[in-house]
Amino acid sequence: MTSDTRPGARSTAALWALPPLAALGLVFLYPLALVAWQSVSPEDGGHSLSPYAEVFAETSFGTALTHTVLIAAGATAGALLLGAALSLVIAFVPFPGGRALARFIDLFLAFPSFLITLALLFLYGTAGIANGVWTDLTGASHGPLDFLHTPWGVLLAEVTYFTPFVMRPLLAAFSQVDTGQLEAAAALGARPWRIVRTVILPEALPALAAGGALVLVLSLNEFGIVLFTGAKDVVTLPVLVYGKAILDGDYTGACVVAVVNIALSVGLHALYRAVIPRTATAGGPGRTTGTRSAGRAAPRTGGVPHRAGVQ
């Protein structure tokens, strides 16, 4: 099937493209342009980069940037580790309810972030179930758990919420693993962990990178979790935007912080787009070499992981 390259056909295609491009510009690009324009529009008039210099000089901005980067990196690392472990169990360890749990992951992705935070508050908050059980058993005036209002509480909530975003692509990747490779590695004497490390994980590297990149970008822009934990000392860039715009009425400063947050997200996305093709290429040859090395290295016979949760 060949495309029509006549001038009339090209003009018709351009006309069909105008409505979606206009809608995209009006709904998405125009608001971004307004934010960027406002960020270089000081309140005393004119246009300059002085608002950026003022915001960058504030201690609150440096603190918010540090909190944002550290919490996003910690949440991504935690979600990758926990998501990989849970995905391996669901996909390859047969247990009752494995398929139902895999289906629940899809449903979990639709949950709002504040719902998970509220659940953690009910469980581990100062007046939560865990502290209530402790006070009932010991007679103490208060329970030992009081960390949800700290950076560690925010980190726990984000890891809990974002882990399924890692699990979904991993479960899809694990469902495509050739069981013949697993059986061959086991027949050659590889233990289960060796099979996981040299056969299964190389296949899942692109999915792991995709999930990690998604979690990193989402956690950089997360607002609801920090707000609902009540962590007043944990100010991230989105929280700083809210504080400047709504509480302080400093719309120019809020737009400056928003532009920085957007630049971080776009930069990370561009880095992901540059790295993921190399990751996918690196994962391809590992399918064969991983199987062979797994067979050579282990002298004792190990079991073959069963694909339980995903078919």
**112-170 pLDDT per residue, tens:** 888 888 888 888 888 788 888 888 888 887 778 878 788 888 999 999 999 999 998 89
Give the pLDDT score at 292. Answer: 37
Give the pLDDT score at 155. Answer: 92
Tell me the HSE value of 260 on the side-chain side, using a 13 A CA sphere: 23
Is residue 276 within 8 A of residue 171, CB to CB? The reply is no
Q: Is the pLDDT of residue 57 over 90?
A: yes
Give the pLDDT score at 303. Answer: 44
d(CA 144, CA 137): 13
pLDDT cut 90: percent of the chain above it: 21
Give the pLDDT score at 290. Answer: 40
3-state secondary structure at position 55: helix
pLDDT cut 70: percent of the chain above it: 84
* Amino acid in the structure at residue 50: S
d(CA 60, CA 222): 18
Per-residue confidence band for 6, with pLDDT thresholds at 50, 70 and 90: low
* pLDDT higher at 201 or 289: 201
State residue 70 phi and psi, 5-degree precision: -65, -45
H helix runs in 236-299, sequence order: 237-242, 251-283, 286-297
Per-residue confidence band for 78, with pLDDT thresholds at 50, 70 and 90: very high
d(CA 283, CA 207): 10
Token reading at 133: 């059980």
Tell me how far CA of residue 91 lies from CA of 14, 190, 263, in angstroms.
47, 19, 37
Give the pLDDT score at 8. Answer: 59
* pLDDT higher at 176 or 307: 176
Give the pLDDT score at 299. Answer: 36
Q: What is the mean pLDDT of residues 107-113?
A: 80
* Closest among 110, 69, 25 to 265, alpha carbons compared: 69
* Closest among 130, 122, 208 to 169, alpha carbons compared: 208
Tell me the HSE value of 301 on the side-chain side, using a 13 A CA sphere: 3
CB neighbourhood size of 263 (10 A): 10
Give the pLDDT score at 276. Answer: 66
d(CA 91, CA 215): 21
Give the pLDDT score at 297. Answer: 36
d(CA 29, CA 41): 18
* pLDDT higher at 229 or 63: 63
Highest mean pLDDT among 98-107, 185-194, 259-268, 272-281: 259-268
Is residue 164 within 8 A of residue 145, CB to CB? The reply is no
DSSP state for residue 306 in the 8-state scheme: P
d(CA 235, CA 65): 9
CB contact set of 252 (below 8 Å; sequence gap of 6+): 38, 39, 41, 42, 43, 51
Q: Is the pLDDT of residue 241 over 80?
A: yes
CB contact set of 114 (below 8 Å; sequence gap of 6+): 224, 225, 227, 228
Give the pLDDT score at 12. Answer: 75
Per-residue confidence band for 285, with pLDDT thresholds at 50, 70 and 90: very low
pLDDT, averaged across the chain:
79
Give the pLDDT score at 238. Answer: 92
